[in-house]
Structure 1
């Protein structure tokens, strides 16, 4: 091609216009035409020569521009020729357009990205660009961020590390930097971020700016902090609760144990990977077989129905015995084979000790309740139900099937006259007037009779709103025997009062009727009669005023004359009988008077004299016979009765409704006293020991 006018105007260098602008007129035109022809020919030739040198690099530029435009690798062969200048211009234009498109795409992606990003200038550390996500993260507008040093938005504690990394990136010492730091917001709040920063280089390879991609990790940091706090609390709880965790790989035997597990087992850190056999050796000898069997039962189970939970004792290396409560879950594969065991050990030594102490106290309480014959009960006032111990059931004549007898049914077993006071006592504690009550009342017994019951009740629970008692607990004791004893005591007190007054009346009579001419004999007579009454009172008191055995009474009055070291002078004969208190006093004074007279005037006044005393029951009367033998001769019966005789006769007749007769036989005095049976005896002497 020799005419380049059609091509040159398209060149971007501006040469064609100057060249075509030469003036065409003038006298030198022919010459110039010839010269021009030569010049053109020479120029074309030179152009053809130089084109290869000029267009070789130009072709390379074109190829690279086209490659850039289509994002393809550059060619290795160059196309040469003047026509390629047009291609150069066109390729450069396409490349510029592609670059602008890419820049626009990058800007759009940068701005619209949900990932916070920013660019900072190396020389000034000023933020050149920040996308919306970055601005939102810092809670600031673009105007507040762009043009400001990035370090102004960093927490003071993180600035030194951040600036050091930025400078190293700008110096080209590192290609990337990842850092976790804190951003400050205007309200003073902090956002934790993970920053990944890379350098941006110019055409000469110098770092001119940095690009940072930011990830907000505030939530993750909070979660991590919460997790750390939770783990710390868990460890603290485990330490406080003495709970140790463990995990065992049942295939390899590898295991891990928490620090608290090691502590409560008394192990050191080097024992953390102990074997199953080591655990077995620590088991208490009495628990070893059972605990190991339970472990293997749970591990070998393929159904997943066997739960691993047991309690056993261990012996620590120091010799201390501890109770352990072990629980674990076992992970199994699809076939049911055990893979992993995850569980916990709890030190329940103190609990076991407390349980043992409770058992001991319960045993002591049962013994005390049994010794005191106390029954216990528990009443649910809301449901109207109650539970009672065996002793309580026995007291109320109920069977074991009645242990949960409803309260109304139990109330019906209370004596009708005592029912109102029981209901009043229960109401007083139920509605808050009192917290406990103490009551004695009568209740139906198993034999159908009425027995006395002493009950103590107290509030065990109240409704938190109404404060009405919802549960009562208490004890019940059968006090029938005590009540009977109290009645006997009251009767006895009245009897003692009555008898004491009678005795004083007898003493008064003795004082009045005893002859006063001889002071010495007067005193002796009074002392003897009072002593006889005292002996009778002693016998009655020993028997709790339930009567006096007649033989013991007789022996007490006639003791000096009964068998002892020498020959017996008094002979007794009669069945065992229990005299009533009034009869005992009369018989005692009668025997005293008879023995006194026999010692002074009768059979006991001479050597060889004897007395026979007998008694028997006939025709609903008690008969006593006093018969003397071997005494002084009796020429005639006395015509005058002495004081003692009068006192005895009056006492037997007036107090007991009996009779007393005397007969002066040749062998000696015979006295017979008879007393109505209902006023004389209580029963046999064998029953005297049983009130």
Structure 2
């Protein structure tokens, strides 16, 4: 409404008062024009004082140069009129002329006052219009730079006004009207109830909610966009009632931000799952103390919702372990690193000893001094126990291998036979017996071989597949590695002798193997043959007898007793309980 007025170059329209030069020039110019006009009228119509010619001059002077110029024109014009009346022959003005002069002064003064008010008001309006135009230009520039759309909903006509940016965000055509139905259609169906409820709260005079809200748009091509809207209702009094007449606001595309938030949340979930799967406890230490986590409480034996202090955590370190942690941190900083890890021992609240692995990063302040540390801790007790078992097992394997090689060497040295082939068979059989014992120990991870399986393995090859020829009876007994090797050699010698000369040399022959053992007492094993050739006591001790006797003697402290009965050999083997208890020690 001020576009025409804004084009007039009024002095002082930008807030500055007219300069003195401007006032002087305007005043002189108007006075000259009025004087010339007055002189012309006075010449044409003698005796007339045309005060009315002053009023346009006063009005223009005030509008163009301000009230000072207008007052100057009023004063000079009045004095000039007085001067003209004084030049008359009769010697002065009449009473009517004096009254006219007074009325002139009052009227001209009123014109100056009203013209000045108009001039100041016009200057303010023109300046406000210019400021409004500049503000609108800045707002338009800001909305374009920030990709923010502006919208307005005129409730009386249900008309929607969308800026180009808002149209682009919603996928509307660049031209043409935007209707309420178009806005409703582009709003995601799942979010439409939420946006409608927000609009109702904003348009309610009792609520006037201006809370920003996020929702989704579903464009015609199926693309889904996230937007954030800010709206404010404009209220007016209609018929004595306050109602919302317009709803205006902004719209901004935040799809990229929402996607980043989703990726951040998914990353946080993955991190939480990884930490939980790895049984890692997150912690942070700063001057205020320690910030624990439920997993740290679980590892250290606190209640899941406990808030232990740093002093309570430190009290669980074994002596010297906390110093190792501090030294690891200091060594890292000395090398220019901020990350370190160390394994240490601590006791849970219930007293259980645990091995823990701590990985941490030291956070520095602006001066480069440590201000806090953050990291994770894991319970690695099982791993450390497994490593220790592996080390013990490696030492045990080395020890057993040396013993086995010694036994094999003794077996070869003591073995005799009339021919090379026979010697080969003797040595092979004895080494095979050791191999079977070794296999049983390996399957049991060298923690004890089962006596029943050992007997079955040794007699299987000599029973010719007839299970009835061999009877095995006895309780479950676990043999130490040394006892297993000794009994394997003894059983092999007995089975070999039975197959060559004893009960197993005939189809009807039988062998019964049985054993007993009291709690913590010795193992007594009996080998009894029957159904074979008649047996007589040998006149001399053969190599097999020597091998049989030596198998249990020596470090094991076992004994061997041979009874050469006519119906078959009976051999009683005894191993002390200490030899069997070596299973526990080696485990």
- 1:601-647 alpha-carbon deviations (Å, 9 max, x no partner): 2222221222222233215222322222222210x222433334323
Deviation at 1:272, TM superposition (A): 5.2
1:235 aligns to 2:144 (yes or no): yes
Distance 1:509 1:683 in 2: 24
Distance 1:433 1:313 in 2: 49
Say if 1:311 and 1:63 are closer, same or farther in 2 by CA, change over 3 A: same
Deviation at 1:379, TM superposition (A): 1.0
1:496 aligns to 2:397 (yes or no): yes
| Alignment check: 8 A CA contact 2:143 2:149 kept | no
| Alignment check: 8 A CA contact 2:489 2:548 kept | yes
Equivalent residue number for residue 547 of structure 1: 448
Deviation at 1:316, TM superposition (A): 0.2
| Alignment check: 8 A CA contact 1:429 1:469 kept | no
Equivalent residue number for residue 182 of structure 2: 278
Alignment RMSD: 4.1
Distance 1:312 1:562 in 2: 85
Equivalent residue number for residue 560 of structure 2: 660
Equivalent residue number for residue 50 of structure 2: 67
Say if 1:341 and 1:642 are closer, same or farther in 2 by CA, change over 3 A: farther
1:352 aligns to 2:258 (yes or no): yes
Deviates more, 1:447-456 or 1:649-658: 649-658
Deviation at 1:407, TM superposition (A): 2.9
Distance 2:127 2:202 in 1: 44
Deviation at 1:68, TM superposition (A): 4.1
Deviation at 1:301, TM superposition (A): 6.7
| Alignment check: 8 A CA contact 1:570 1:612 kept | yes
Equivalent residue number for residue 417 of structure 1: 320
1:288 aligns to 2:192 (yes or no): yes
Deviation at 1:467, TM superposition (A): 1.6
**Superposition map of 1:294-443 within 5 A:** 294-300=198-204, 302-304=206-208, 306-332=209-235, 337-372=243-278, 374-388=279-293, 390-402=294-306, 404-429=307-332, 433-443=336-346
Deviation at 1:506, TM superposition (A): 1.0
Say if 1:567 and 1:617 are closer, same or farther in 2 by CA, change over 3 A: closer
Equivalent residue number for residue 189 of structure 1: none
| Alignment check: 8 A CA contact 1:325 1:345 kept | yes
Equivalent residue number for residue 482 of structure 2: 582
- 1:399-455 alpha-carbon deviations (Å, 9 max, x no partner): 2233x4333321221211322102222344578742211211111125412011122
1:505 aligns to 2:488 (yes or no): no
1:671 aligns to 2:574 (yes or no): no
Distance 1:327 1:608 in 2: 105
1:463 aligns to 2:365 (yes or no): yes
Equivalent residue number for residue 143 of structure 1: none
Distance 2:551 2:257 in 1: 77
Task: State which of 149, 156, 163 in structure 2 corresponds to 1:244.
Answer: 149
Distance 1:315 1:227 in 2: 31
1:638 aligns to 2:546 (yes or no): no
- 1:56-99 alpha-carbon deviations (Å, 9 max, x no partner): x98962233x23499699xxxxxxxxxxx9559979xx9xxx9x
Equivalent residue number for residue 126 of structure 1: none
Equivalent residue number for residue 422 of structure 2: 521
TM-score, normalised relative to structure 1: 0.62
SS at match of 1:410: helix
Structure 1, gaps ≥5 residues long: 1-56, 74-84, 114-213, 685-690
Equivalent residue number for residue 168 of structure 2: 263
**Superposition map of 1:531-570 within 5 A:** 531-561=432-462, 566-570=466-470
Deviation at 1:675, TM superposition (A): 2.2
Distance 1:520 1:669 in 2: 27
TM-score, normalised relative to structure 2: 0.72
1:485 aligns to 2:386 (yes or no): yes
Structure 2, gaps ≥5 residues long: 1-40, 57-86, 117-122
Distance 1:380 1:413 in 2: 16
Computing the radius of gyration over CA atoms, which structure comes out larger, 1 or 2?
1
| Alignment check: 8 A CA contact 2:184 2:192 kept | yes
Say if 1:370 and 1:58 are closer, same or farther in 2 by CA, change over 3 A: closer
| Alignment check: 8 A CA contact 1:611 1:629 kept | yes
| Bigger share in helix | 2
The alignment of Structure 1 onto Structure 2 pairs a total of residues equal to 493
Say if 1:490 and 1:58 are closer, same or farther in 2 by CA, change over 3 A: closer
| Alignment check: 8 A CA contact 2:438 2:485 kept | yes
Deviation at 1:235, TM superposition (A): 0.9
Equivalent residue number for residue 594 of structure 1: 494
| Alignment check: 8 A CA contact 2:213 2:230 kept | yes
Deviates more, 1:549-558 or 1:593-602: 549-558
Distance 1:590 1:569 in 2: 19
| Alignment check: 8 A CA contact 1:62 1:87 kept | no
- 1:350-392 alpha-carbon deviations (Å, 9 max, x no partner): 33333333444444444433443x223231323222222x333
Distance 1:336 1:226 in 2: 29
SS at match of 2:461: helix
Distance 2:296 2:144 in 1: 50
| Alignment check: 8 A CA contact 2:229 2:249 kept | yes
Identify which of structures 1 and 2 has the higher relative contact order when contacts are C-alpha pairs closer than 8 Å and 6+ apart: 2
Deviation at 1:514, TM superposition (A): 1.5
Say if 1:319 and 1:439 are closer, same or farther in 2 by CA, change over 3 A: same
| Alignment check: 8 A CA contact 1:626 1:670 kept | yes
| Alignment check: 8 A CA contact 1:511 1:526 kept | yes
Distance 1:70 1:358 in 2: 82
Distance 1:503 1:72 in 2: 138
Distance 2:268 2:456 in 1: 54
